Amino acid sequence: MSTLNEYLSLTEFESIIFGNNQVAISDAVSDRVKESFDFLKEFSVNKIIYGVNTGFGPMAQYRINEEDQIQLQYNLIRSHASGTGKPLSPVCVKAAILARLNTLSLGNSGVHPSLIHLMKELINKDITPLIFEHGGVGASGDLVQLAHLALVLIGEGEVFYKGERRATQEVFALENLEPIKVEIREGLALMNGTSVMTGIGVVNVFHAKKLLDWSLKFSCAINEMVQAYDDHFSSELNDTKHHKGQREVATKMRANLADSTLIRKREDHLYSGDNTEEVFKEKVQEYYSLRCVPQILGPVLDTINNVATILEDEFNSANDNPIIDVKNKHVYHGGNFHGDYISLEMDKLKIVITKLTMLSERQLNYLLNSKINEILPPFVNLGTLGFNFGMQGVQFTATSTTAENQMLSNPMYIHSIPNNNDNQDIVSMGTNAAVITAKVIENAYEVLAIELITIVQAIDYLEQKDKISTVTKKIYDDIRVIIPRFEKDQVMYPFVQKVKEYLMNF
């Protein structure tokens, strides 16, 4: 059980989203939210407060009569529930709800406490509002996507429940849940914010960490196969660079390869003084995709860690408008809903995951090209050369998917298009950035799945399964449970899918 109180850590956030921990709301949070609601209700009398007694956006110049103010909120929700495209995945929606719940729990939004308690129930009962990928420009927050969440909270729209897409009203009846009744500004408070892009961002970071770990392990495995020298991941070499990520990647490589019998020391060979060759048969240095792993994956690690920090700051922030300040008895109008922080970080994240994908593709090419590696048959073909194809077919898929990632890595952050009658004259496109980053991450899993199948086939060809490190042997054994050693040509797509699922869910 995770209780919302003062601060929600990224670790706690992930335990709710991926570990299915239940959410509880502390008495302190309930009291804080109620105090904010009570203050706004009193403060807004005889004052002009945006979104309480005014229209929205460029229509804020129009006063809304008191008898129409509640209906205004319903109008806002219904009119903006206009998303299109594919539905967001359940885990991304759950993360978005949690991000919004935590923001509203800060007591800066003036919402009725019933709202946060119903949001908690959606998370705990695995009721997933139907929210579409397309619709948000990330300026006044994730207006369109969050409108779909708000629609469910007022008892309308659709949800996914126990694997079925159903009307919200039906599911609420089954679970004995009551929709919220809008009191003052629940519509605007729900919709004005960065919680969808932030929620998707948390899911993206979770998978980015996994991809980095797999990429590092695969890089170690290939270094074992070629019996590389250990100095390129030594502490002595990498500590001459002051980048934390590079040093940490090198440290992890040393740990992963600690009990490998294949990695060599330069002093036992090229430094021994016994070598008299004029042209060296063995490589003096490996190709960059093997030798520069700390330098390539180090920036990936540093970027992931920085993105994680920004996300944690964001879902612990008040990011709607206006901001209700109970302590100072004031309501402040501004732009905390603007998603530039998340947009920029998602662009950074997709760039480094694309670079990781490119590293995987180059390592795959190294394994498949016998003229480069000089130890494996073409395409790691364990069958009859010329008659069988080995991994030739799947390389096309890996190359194509890597190219798509390269194209998708163009930034969204700089693609502002004014809209909303130019009220939103510069926008973040943060929601798009987060959604596209999720696609880049899924693509990366597919390329790494193909690389891993090739690594396991190569270990078999080289008869190294009893010489590789414990870390590599565990991966080898796991994959051999999923897919057989194949010499004859196989239909490959089921194998790639199974290995992809292993990488995503392990």
Enzyme catalytic residues: 50
Q: Phi and psi at residue 257, in whole multiples of 5°?
A: -100, 10
Phi, psi of 383 (to 5 degrees): -100, -145
The tokens describing 257, both together, are: 């390869």
Cα separation values, 60 from 41, 73, 268, Å: 19, 13, 77
Residues constituting the chain: 506
Per the CB < 8 A criterion, the answer to whether 428 and 342 are in contact is yes
- Check: CB of residue 432 under 8 Å from CB of residue 88: no
Question: CA-to-CA distance for 89 and 353, rounded, in angstroms?
Answer: 20
- Distance of alpha carbon 206 from alpha carbon 440, whole angstroms: 14
Dihedral through CA 116, CA 118, CA 122, CA 127, nearest 10? -140
Q: Residue 149: exposed, middle, or buried by beta-carbon count in 10 A (0-12, 13-18, 19+)?
A: buried
**Residues 50 and 70 sit within 8 Å (Cβ to Cβ):** no
Exposure class string for 89-122: b at 16+ Cβ within 10 A, else e: bebbbbbbbbbbbbbbbbbbbbbbbbbbebbbeb
